[in-house]
Amino acid sequence: MALNVGCAAAPGRARDNKTGSWRVFKPVFKHETCTKCGLCETVCPEGCVKEDKDGFFTPDLDYCKGCGLCAKECPADDIEMVQEEK
Amino acid sequence: MMKIVEGSHAVAEAVKLCRPQVISAYPITPQTHIVEALASMVADCELDAEYICVESEFSALSGCVGASAAGSRTYSATTSQGLALMFEVCFNAAGMRLPIVMTIANRAMGAPLNIWNDQQDSISLRDAGWMQFYAEDNQEATDLHFITYKVAEDHNVLLPAMVCFDGFILTHTYEPVDMPSQEGIDAFLPPFKPYNTLDAKKPMSLGMYATPDYYMEFRYEIDEAMKRAKQAFANAGKEFAEQFGRDYSGLIEGYRLEDADTALVAMGSICGTVKDAIDEMRAEGKRVGLLKIRSYRPFPADEVAAALKGASTVAVLDKNISLGAKGAVALEVKDALYGSGITVLDYIVALGGRDIRKKDIAKIVDLAEKGTGDMFYGLRTEVL
């Protein structure tokens, strides 16, 4: 986001705001016991967990708010919330 | 052209000369005569502007925000509780860097309800990012509107501004005012050139949200614009002086201050009374002077320190009180003089229309010379 006078911006610029900046804990997807069930993608309120070409799931940390729902709901207990230092 | 005119009507005439394209305002005592006069000018086709009748001051200033963002020169006026109702919109107008000009007919804040003059209303908005200029008389109130539009719309500044003049004491008083011609003001104040414009063909949002990664930088930018406004004000004041012969280029103004031992500091119409009191005290051999603050925001701290450096005692007259602390002007004067060794004493005066006369000014000077201050002056102790 550019520092425009009056905080002026073209529409649709919310994408340019890396809103993950207010996260305290980040989810670490270990991909060890993962069964590729996709529940993490389903429960993510931000819609930032996506499936990769191998069928594993990863969060987009530019937008993840660190709510921890994915870690809480993961049936394989394969996601760990880790405190981030900035 | 010189005419005898009520303060409110002088301001309305000045605003008309500035050719505002949108006026959005709600009447409130003692501001009403200004917007009433402007509404008549629009209705009579003397002024080609859109006059928006709104249901509250919140809407009045919101209308100005929209109109200014769409590229119009905009105007509003209010006072006291009306300004308080605009509180949220004031911060947004500054954050969006919209050069709205608004007249404040200074009045006390309720409760208790009081329609008379002090400066608590605009002082309470000091942190909103609006420039604030205070007029001593109706000539200055008139002329400050021309200068203020020029400063606010300067692309190095781009901040909204309040022109403050004392309710009733100035708004309802007839004084001779030298009103510039339309040709003169057209030459001084060119049409508004917006920096950003809302345009459906080129969509844009203003005042977008900023995360903790950006918010502080936006606030810093507003503060920097405030600092640049000092020079812009001085330049516009100088240009005005060259064209019209009245000089407002100083953010402060000294009166018999050069060799003063005791310096009074004040803002607004009280300065006239203080000047008369000083003339009388000078005739008795007292070395007293006045420092008038014309620009409260931006606050010219360096200029204040330089102007007061020769004084041993400074007495600040505050027509406001930051409850639980001191008068808002005194706090800033103390900050400006920090480390100088000069005694700064604060006097809360004339709240809610309490009269203040020349003899009161002389008494305050006596108190200051004895080192007695930081007090409400003129309290009726018998009713306490």
pLDDT band at A18 (very low <50, low <70, confident <90, very high): confident
Q: Is the pLDDT assigned to residue A1 strictly greater than 60? A: no
Supply the CATH number for residue B328's domain: 3.40.50.920
Show which of B244, B262, B280 is a domain's final residue. B244
Residue A20 has pLDDT above 90, yes or no: no
Q: What is the spatial distance between Cα B128 and Cα B125, in angstroms, rounded to a whole number? A: 5
Report chain B residues whose CB lies below 8 A from the CB of A15. none
Structure token pair of residue B250: 């100083």
Residues B139, B275: Cα–Cα separation, whole Å: 17
Chain A contact set for B204 (CB, 8 A): 8-11
pTM of the predicted protein model: 0.91
Quick: pLDDT tens for B103-141: 999 999 999 999 999 999 999 999 999 999 999 999 999
What pLDDT is attached to residue B208? 81
- Between B196, B211, B217, which is nearest A17 by CB? B211
Interface residues on A facing B, Cβ-Cβ cutoff 8 A? 1, 3-11, 13, 17-19, 21-22
DSSP B196-260: S--BTTB--BSS----TTTHHHHHHHHHHHHHHHHHHHHHHHHHHHHHHS-----SEEEES-TT-
For residue B382, tell me if it sits in a domain: no
Q: How confident is the model at residue A8 (pLDDT cuts 50, 70, 90)?
A: confident
In a domain, B381, yes or no: no
Shared-domain flag, residues B100 and B135: yes
* B229 and B117 both lie in a single domain: yes
Q: Rg (Cα) of chain B, in Å, rounded? A: 20
Residues B166-179 have a mean pLDDT of 98
In a domain, residue B229? The reply is yes
Model ipTM over 0.90: no
CATH number at residue B123: 3.40.50.970
- Please tell me whether residues B259 and B240 are part of one structural domain: no
Residues of chain B found within 8 Å of residue A6, distances taken between Cβ atoms: 95-98, 158, 195-196, 206-207
Read off the pLDDT of each residue in A31-60 and give the average, rounded to a whole number: 96
Same domain, B199 and B307: no
Query: Structural domain of residue B360, as residue ranges?
Result: 252-376
> Are B161 and B257 within one domain?
no
- B184 within domain boundaries: yes
Residues 6+ apart with CB under 8 A from B323: none
pLDDT at A13: 64
Q: Which residue of B has its CA nearest to A22?
A: B212
Residue B144 located in a structural domain: yes
Number of structural domains (chain B) is 2
Q: How many C-beta neighbours within 10 Å does residue A55 have?
A: 9
- How far B239 CA lies from chain A's nearest CA (Å)? 27
Residue A14's pLDDT is 64
Both B180 and B315 in one domain: the answer is no
